[in-house]
Amino acid sequence: MTLLQVEALDCRYGLLQAVRGVSFDIAQGETLALIGANGAGKTTLLRAIAGAHRPATGRVWFAGADITHMPAHRRVELGIALVSEGRRLFPSLTVEENLRVASARRRGRWNVDTVLDVFPLLKPRRHMPAATLSGGEQQAVAIGRALMSNPRLLLLDEVSLGLAPVVVDAVYRSLGDVIGEGATVLLVEQDLTRALQVAGRVVCMLEGRVVLQGEAASLDRDRVVSAYFGLRRPA
């Protein structure tokens, strides 16, 4: 079953067109990696899906309903959660408060305790302001906050950015648990190897357009790399 369908989406910042006619869809339970160079439009596309950026034209469908004009907080209620680039925690709120403000009406397995079980590094930090946490801890809170709404679709924007490799491994191990439980995930990842590892399918963007998409297993790395940098395929 198709969970998310993006149809000819255009996103602009004034005159700058950040996303140009992007179409793709994600099936229930699928993990899709969105890759592309800096400025390709990945963050903008994710924000448009989450409702934080109003697209100029095009449509977004979620579970059969047209959500193009729905505000972000209502999409969270429907089951779309975005882990923003740069984490975007509420700095003066404690870890627990950051998690609890986000618990929406959706029922499911995620609550403060189950999130802390998946991210045990947060347990001793539970009552500390988010501003005092390390980068890895903050990223765990950001992911936990998204999980609190028991999403059907989890959008992850560069969750490994600025983290030490060991921390990235830990974050992805926890994500593995989440994905293993049947969540549908759309993730932006700069690390190509990791993206191809985690995802079943890959969409590659270049200057706002989708230039390549396919099963991760079937794509050869050179083709992905040349699409990524916008190089012509060697003859």
Partner 1 sequence: MTVANAVLQGVFLGAFYAVLACGLSIMFGVMRIINLAHGDVAVLGAYIVYVIVERTGVPAFVAFAVALPVMVLLGYVLQLTVLERSLKSGILTPLLATFGLSIVIQNLLQLVFSPDVRSLGGSAGSVTTASWQVTSGLSVSALGLLVLVVAVLLFAALQLFLSKTRAGWIMRATAEDADAAELAGIDSRSVYARATAIAVGIAALGGLFLGIRSVFDPVSGPTQLIFAFEAVVIGGMGSLWGTLLGGIALGVAQTVGAQIHPQFAVMAGHLLFLAVLIVRFGGGRLVLRTA
Ligand X SMILES: Nc1ncnc2c1ncn2[C@@H]1O[C@H](COP(=O)(O)OP(=O)(O)OP(=O)(O)O)[C@@H](O)[C@H]1O
Task: Report the nearest approach of Mg ion to the CB of residue 185 (Å).
Answer: 17
- Asked if 50 touches partner 1 (CB under 8 A), the answer is yes
Least distance CB 71 / partner 1 (angstroms): 7
Interface pick for partner 1 out of 12, 59, 100, 194 (rule CB under 8 A): 100
Q: Is 174 in the site for Mg ion (CB under 5 A)?
A: no
Applying CB under 8 A, does 73 fall inside the site for partner 1? yes
Which option in partner 1, Mg ion, ligand X, none does residue 38 bind, with CB closer than 5 to 8 A by kind?
A: ligand X
Site for ligand X in 63-122 (CB under 6 A): 85
Alpha carbon dihedral 26, 136, 51, 45, in 10-degree steps, equals -60
Residue 147 found at the interface with partner 1 (CB under 8 A): no
Closest CA to 30 of 67, 1, 63: 1
Residue 11 carries which side chain, given as an amino acid letter?
Answer: C
Report if residue 43 touches Mg ion, rule: CB under 5 A: yes
Among 11, 40, 76, 153, binds partner 1 (CB under 8 A): 76
Q: Would you say 80 and 113 are in contact if contact means Cβ atoms under 8 Å apart?
A: no
Rg (CA), the chain: 17
Query: What are the backbone dihedrals phi and psi of residue 166, each rounded to the nearest 5 degrees, phi first?
Result: -65, -40
d(CA 69, CA 230): 32
Smallest Cα–Cα separation from 179: which of 198, 192, 164? 198
- β-sheet bridge partners, residue 25: 5
According to DSSP, the residues that pair with 5 across neighbouring strands are: 25, 61
- Out of 9, 40, 83, 163, point to the residue binding ligand X (CB under 6 A): 40
Residue 54 binds partner 1 (CB under 8 A): no
Binding site for Mg ion (CB under 5 A): 43, 85
Contacts with ligand X by CB under 6 A lie at 13, 16, 18, 36, 38-44, 85
